[in-house]
Amino acid sequence: LAQREWPVELVVCADATLLTNRAAMLGLPLTLRPYSPNSPAQPQTAGTLTLLPVALRAPVTAGQLAVENGHYVVETLARACDGCLNGE
């Protein structure tokens, strides 16, 4: 998703460290821009994501389930749904 251009702004609800670490593991460029609901949406450029930060509850290791982060997953989905319902 982040590695191509999009004519719309993609807002990702996630932990910033998680995203940057995974991009680095994969050898992919990634720049995170802060999400601002009051700023006009801008087309997404390749290698960039707009981030609405949601903090992980516990450290993660790629490929290993971290049950402690179950609430984090629900929180990211709830925040994304709230944003859609509120017209963000």
Per-residue confidence band for 88, with pLDDT thresholds at 50, 70 and 90: confident
Helices and strands, number each (H, E), in the chain: 2, 3
Q: What is the pLDDT of residues 29-46, one digit of tens each?
A: 999 999 999 999 999 999
Q: What is the pLDDT of residue 75?
A: 97
Convert the pLDDT of each residue in 40-78 to its tens digit.
999 999 999 999 999 999 999 989 999 999 999 999 999
* Over residues 17-27, mean pLDDT: 97
Distance CA 12, CA 54 (A): 9
Q: How far is the C-alpha of 31 from the C-alpha of 40, rounded, in Å?
A: 19
Structural domain boundaries in the chain: 11-85
